[in-house]
Structure 1
Amino acid sequence: MRLLISAIALMASLSFCVSSKAAEQPVVDQDIALVTTTGKIAGSLQLPSSAGKLPVVLIIAGSGPTDRDGNSAPLKGKNNSLKMLAESMGQAGIASVRFDKRGIGASASAATSEADLRFETYVQDAAAWLKMLKADKRFSDVAILGHSEGSLIAMLAAQQEPVKALISLAGPAKNAADLLRQQLQGKLPPPLAAKNEEILAALQAGKTYTEVPAELKSLYRDSVQPYLVSWFRYTPEKEIGKLTCAILLVQGDKDVQVDVAQLSALKQARPDASTLLVHEMNHVLKIINGDMAQQMASYGDPALPLAPELALKLNGFLREKLK
């Protein structure tokens, strides 16, 4: 989530089953783009060789400057988590599309100013991708997968463009403002904690806040507040109940950004959803069995493989639900 990365920096400054047989030939990225009124949104298509139509999954990255591969510009190195996920799908005979959000990477030209950006902008883009994939004669069933903040985007886009299945991967259940409260609890000195609550309350009420302390500017600068207001309107555990497609909820128990309680809350909101809790998997979908130093190093280590259980069971779910 956008705020999760920012908040980590702020705190520092403050004190299912299928065969594992690989495809006969490597599945490689092909360029694909979504044309919008403000420019092209660039993406990568993984298209396994097939004599007929293939199911396809739209993959939506998490918040902030996170690109199609799951890498974030402010962090050192690359983890390539979403690229690895797409490759695992390809080896299972499932096509996928992942993309740089507008303003990020090769989609920089499609950016609007930060002050003009709204959460709904990302939702509309995802819905447009779904519409395009549904019209593409190479594909059969269409599914959507959202990672972290992308989970909520996926839920809202699927309400506009229904899909066969939705996967929430490390997706929060609670409102983003409440998650930020939880994340910062006990991390700020009392006066700053009180001011933080004032700001969050105002934003949740749909109002911007003018007197933001310098220490909180990275989170609540004037240009980002309209985006936060639009984001805080939506609560995932409410939105997931509006969907009628098959759902898989996935979480790792070593995720320090989205805790396991979020999985439980989403499951409570959609009791019919399938769930997968991956032991020792963290937020970037890697297995971590060490300390916080190893946790942080994994965010920039492309040699660290995708959690094997995730790939196996996720592809199994997709093969079962998609035709």
Structure 2
Amino acid sequence: MSTPASSPATGRRRALAAIGATTGLLLATACSGETASVPPPGVSGSERDLSFAVDGTEVFATFTSPTNATGTVPAALIVSGSGPTDRDGNTQTRPDAGTNLNLARVLADTGVASLRYDKIGSGQTGLGDLDPEASIDPEVHDRQLIAAYEELLAQPGVDPDRTVVVGHSEGALFALRAHDLLDTSPALVLAAPPGTHYLDLVDRQLTEQIRVGEARGHIGTTDGVTVLSDARAGRAALRGGRELPDDLSPLLETVYSEQNAAFLRWIDTFDPVELAADLPDGTPVLVLWGEEDVQIPRSDVDRLMTGFADAERLDVPDADHVFREFRDRPGTAALDADRPFAPEVAPALEEFLDQAW
């Protein structure tokens, strides 16, 4: 939610960053911007940049096709996680995450084309002509997905009968609704998907940050209680259809703000379990989760799985939220650029997609 034109998660990160500035809690993986010191997964394929329009704003994207492909090929639409995340899966706080780029490379290596795009407020797309101080229709993210999928199908060599939507983190909520948004029911890959209502996830993440800060002596207990109490007051106001209190803690102002209220109310209405249960019969689903993911806990993924009639799941050992290897031991690499993409993802995707169509 770094900009009102995007989802509120970057604002959530800003609030946590404000706490982190005091507590030193922010992930060491967040700020790097260095040249990658580990080889990327998969293959680069054949890439070309393109763009399409959504509500008058030009959205920039990259289409990747397998090298030396013959005939038509299956294709994937990659949907980013929260905040102003660019087409490669990077944000200002994690400029080397590369989640979407790594997925595109793995897909290309398995013979699957892909399209990834800069969300509103990110990358080359930016804000366009949108007012950065104004709230926007939260369903612009749906319209971006629809337009991106149509652009994917318009690419030469793409087989419209073999498509998959790959949603990372918050993007999984959009992937789960793809059959309602599109004139088809694509296969789904849900990577690090939320398993509970959005505002409950925000509350849990904020609570964990505060508790760690208190344990390390970087934030006082009284201040921590105030932040959490105010956060829950903001959540209750949004769910009750009321205006946000005007005396919330400054640490929450970019989360529970009037600019973000419409998006928060809207996305919090979706229960991932109900979305999973509403999928058309026979929809192929693969759920990927990193066992070192500190943003989405195992219990959330367990809850999500109860909604599926049938879905495959892979828990990736030693992988974090962006599926880079992470081992919590002294001396191990912390920066994204220094940690390889989890090798278990590629064979899991290949096996799943071989059986999906």
How far apart are residue 54 of structure 1 and its match?
A: 0.6
Larger displacement relative to structure 2 (210-219 or 105-114): 105-114
Structure 2 residue 174 is the aligned partner of structure 1 residue 153: yes
- Name the CA distance, whole Å, in 2 between partners of 1:314 and 1:204: 37
Structure 2 residue 289 is the aligned partner of structure 1 residue 251: yes
Aligned positions, number:
311
Unmatched 5+ stretches in structure 2 = 1-8, 24-40, 211-222
Structure 2 residue 288 is the aligned partner of structure 1 residue 267: no
Q: 4+ residue stretches of structure 1 with deviation over 6 A?
A: none
Contact 1:144 1:163 in 2 (8 A): no
How far apart are residue 59 of structure 1 and its match?
A: 0.3
Q: Deviations over 1:43-101 (max 9, x none)?
A: 111111322111000001111121111111134x4122221110111111110111101
How far apart are residue 111 of structure 1 and its match?
A: 5.8
TM, length-normalised to structure 1: 0.88
Contact 1:27 1:90 in 2 (8 A): yes
Partner of 1:52: 71
Compared with structure 1, are the counterparts of its residues 173 and 122 closer, same or farther at alpha carbon in structure 2 (3 Å cutoff)?
same
Compared with structure 1, are the counterparts of its residues 192 and 8 closer, same or farther at alpha carbon in structure 2 (3 Å cutoff)?
closer
1:106 alignment partner, SS class: coil
Of 89, 107, 124, which residue of structure 2 is paired with 1:106? 124
Matches within 5 A, 1:168-183: 168-183=190-205
TM, length-normalised to structure 2: 0.80
Partner of 1:220: 256
Partner of 2:226: 191
How far apart are residue 3 of structure 1 and its match?
A: 5.7
AA partner of residue 222 (structure 1): E
Q: Deviations over 1:196-252 (max 9, x none)?
A: 211111112233314133232132232222221222122222112221221111101
AA partner of residue 178 (structure 1): D
Compared with structure 1, are the counterparts of its residues 204 and 22 closer, same or farther at alpha carbon in structure 2 (3 Å cutoff)?
closer
Partner of 1:143: 164
Contact 2:169 2:193 in 1 (8 A): yes
AA partner of residue 114 (structure 2): S
Unmatched 5+ stretches in structure 1 = 16-20
- Name the CA distance, whole Å, in 1 between partners of 2:270 and 2:97: 29
Compared with structure 1, are the counterparts of its residues 113 and 265 closer, same or farther at alpha carbon in structure 2 (3 Å cutoff)?
farther
Q: Deviations over 1:96-138 (max 9, x none)?
A: 1111012211112546335333432112211222233345552
AA partner of residue 103 (structure 2): L
1:319 alignment partner, SS class: helix
Structure 2 residue 103 is the aligned partner of structure 1 residue 85: yes
Structure 2 residue 274 is the aligned partner of structure 1 residue 238: yes
Structure 2 residue 335 is the aligned partner of structure 1 residue 297: yes
2:253 alignment partner, SS class: helix
- Name the CA distance, whole Å, in 1 between partners of 2:170 and 2:262: 17
Contact 1:79 1:304 in 2 (8 A): no
- Name the CA distance, whole Å, in 1 between partners of 2:244 and 2:325: 40
How far apart are residue 278 of structure 1 and its match?
A: 0.5
Larger displacement relative to structure 2 (185-194 or 120-129): 185-194
Compared with structure 1, are the counterparts of its residues 154 and 280 closer, same or farther at alpha carbon in structure 2 (3 Å cutoff)?
same
Compared with structure 1, are the counterparts of its residues 261 and 111 closer, same or farther at alpha carbon in structure 2 (3 Å cutoff)?
farther
Compared with structure 1, are the counterparts of its residues 22 and 14 closer, same or farther at alpha carbon in structure 2 (3 Å cutoff)?
closer
- Name the CA distance, whole Å, in 2 between partners of 1:98 and 1:28: 14
Compared with structure 1, are the counterparts of its residues 234 and 142 closer, same or farther at alpha carbon in structure 2 (3 Å cutoff)?
same
Q: Deviations over 1:8-34 (max 9, x none)?
A: 31432454xxxxx977xx513211222
